[in-house]
Amino acid sequence: MQTRYEIVADLINSNHYKKVAEIGVMDGTTSQYLLHHCDLEKLILVDTTFSKLNNTINTANYKNLELIEKDSLEASRMVGDKTLDLVFIDGEGFDCRGVRRAVNEIFPKANLIKDSIDDVIHVWYVYI
């Protein structure tokens, strides 16, 4: 069975996504995997703290990496609409309400539009 970060990397690579945001970074394990296994022009990491990140990723080594140390609502105001190919919400540690809020805030930033936010929430709930 694939890990969460392998699934996300496969999605990015198979669709040739270049601009990706990860909401909820924790220690950066997924972020590090994406940086090493995907050809990204930009990876935006959003979290309220990056205190554990430097143990995993030396951020100075990546020119394509942008850190936004804010909650998803504040961060969404810093990213233009339809400027991202994929927004990955790492829902571990979130309740369904928190994921729904993040989806509503970040959704307009992605080029790809889903039919229903409820479908996105359902997929998250089943996966976790």
Please give the C-alpha separations between residue 93 and each of 36, 38, 101, 124, in angstroms, as whole numbers: 25, 25, 14, 12
Pair 85, 112: CB distance under 8 Å: yes
**Residue ranges for the chain with pLDDT beneath 50:** 113-128
Per-residue pLDDT, 113: 46
- Considering the domain delimited by 4-127, tell me its CATH architecture: 3-Layer(aba) Sandwich (3.40)
Q: What residue segments make up the domains of the chain, in order of their start?
A: 4-127
Please give the C-alpha separations between residue 11 and each of 16, 20, 86, 88, in angstroms, as whole numbers: 8, 11, 9, 10
